[in-house]
Chains A and B, each alone.
Chain A
Amino acid sequence: MYAQLVKSEGTKTREEMTPEELAFQERIDRGEKIEPKEWMPEGYRKTLIRQIGQHAHSEIVGQLPEGNWITRAPTLERKAILLAKVQDEAGHGLYLYSAAETLGVSRDELMELLHAGKMKYSSIFNYPTLTWADMGAVGWLVDGAAIMNQVPLQRTSYGPYSRAMIRICKEESFHQRQGYAIMMKMAQGTPAQKRMAQDALNRLWYPALMMFGPSDKDSVHSAQSMAWKIKMNTNDELRQKFVDQTVPQAEYLGLTVPDPNLKWNEEKGGYDFSEPDWSEFYDVLAGNGPCNKDRLGARVKAWEDGAWFREGLMAHAEKAAARRAQAAE
């Protein structure tokens, strides 16, 4: 999901490859996993750092829209569930940062790039979560779209990334189901609750479709990433799969997908649907979404406010180590 528009370094034909690059490509074609200390083309390494970093940032920034509702969850049980979900997102971010670190970049460096606006996170998290129904729609649609993207990535060529994806996928299904359970409750509730559920779907439908990135015809970096198996499906393939899976779920809820052109196409065995407004997508990525400033501001503030704590614990650890060394003398 969470990596949209990852810039990939150059595409070479087999004839243009050096013997090393060719041997590398053949390993990937055979389905072998690439491990941290092994030789890899610089472009592979750089593209992966961008992609895994962007994915990690999305997990971390993704805590904010849901964190917004923890104190206002309707019941203690819902609050505990939401808290556990948001904690999982932190965990997912950490798995991914450590996967990125095996490529020779440190977590703090990645954080600094995020805070300086030099690395991106998924556009979806720049939309506000206005009502409790949004907690349902986020779990159902946003985590649903994430799963669509992450399941195939379990087979990605880079070992540490693949292993992080396997862990994440194990935990992700809880996220989507708790969201759908909220939607069921709202959709089967009072007319006002049902209106809230419909409103959440109306606002989040197109931003969810944008999560898969631009249309294949405009997706310039896909070919190299797919050859390297760090992208397993095209953006449009995944978007189609997501729509096909989600429409019946909306029907079950008795909610209407906000697309007048949505129609089952017997011939292709999938739905025809309207594309999201791509100018809005690029605008949000450029920093002009409804919540970009809030989200990044909250991250920078958390990082700066936590500095004394990180430094304090480090100073304590160093002192304790020095004391132990002295006692051993």
Chain B
Amino acid sequence: MSKEWPLWEVFIRGQHGLNHRHVGSLHAPDAEMAIMNARDVYTRRNEGVSIWVVPSAQITASSPSDKGPLFEPSNSKVYRHPTFFDIPEEVGHM
């Protein structure tokens, strides 16, 4: 019986110098075909200037059930946000 083409995750960088962004996934036999398919599936309207493809099996994801403990350290550090500090108006823009 035939084997299903593996799954790839597709990342595209748009026109304006932003990061590559995950746009979806697709099936392809190899990396070269994954890029070609990604062009046809995800950039039919000039959405990108660069494509990355990664075998989906190679992605390691954080576990949804660990969401609490994993992100807790940043939750408890409000002083990382500039608005934590009151700066008098006389000081001017900072």
The interface of chain A, by Cβ under 8 A from chain B, is 35, 37-39, 84, 87-88, 91, 94-95, 98, 101, 106-108, 163-164, 167, 171, 307, 310-311, 313-314, 316-317, 320-321
Contact = CB atoms under 8 A, between A and B. Distances in A.
B77 to A, nearest CB: 24
Contacts of B29: 310, 313-314, 316-317
B5 interface: yes
B56 to A, nearest CB: 9
6 contacts: A95-B41, A98-B7, A98-B26, A101-B7, A108-B4, A313-B29
Given A37-B61, A37-B64, A94 B41 contact: yes
B64 A87 contact: no
Contact of B25 (A35, A98, A310, A320): A98
Given A38-B64, A313-B5, A316-B30, 6 more contacts: A39-B64, A88-B44, A307-B2, A314-B2, A314-B29, A316-B29
Contact of A98 (B5, B24, B44): B24
Nearest to B10: A98
Contacts of A164: 24
A163 B7 CA distance: 18
B1 to A, nearest CB: 10
A307 B4 CA distance: 11
Contact residues of A: prevailing secondary structure:
helix
Interface of B: 2-5, 7, 24-27, 29-30, 33, 40-41, 44-45, 61, 63-65
Nearest to A309: B29
Given A38-B64, A310-B2, A107 B27 contact: yes
A35 B64 contact: yes
A254 to B, nearest CB: 33
B64 to A, nearest CB: 4
A95 to B, nearest CB: 6
Contacts of A108: 4
Contacts of A39: 64-65
Contacts of B65: 39
A307 B1 CA distance: 10
A123 B7 CA distance: 30
Contacts of B26: 94, 98
A52 to B, nearest CB: 13
B24 A320 contact: no
A314 B26 CA distance: 15
B64 A95 contact: no
A313 B34 CA distance: 12
A95 B24 CA distance: 7
Contacts of A107: 4, 27
Nearest to B67: A38
Contacts of A311: 2-3
Contacts of B5: 310, 313-314
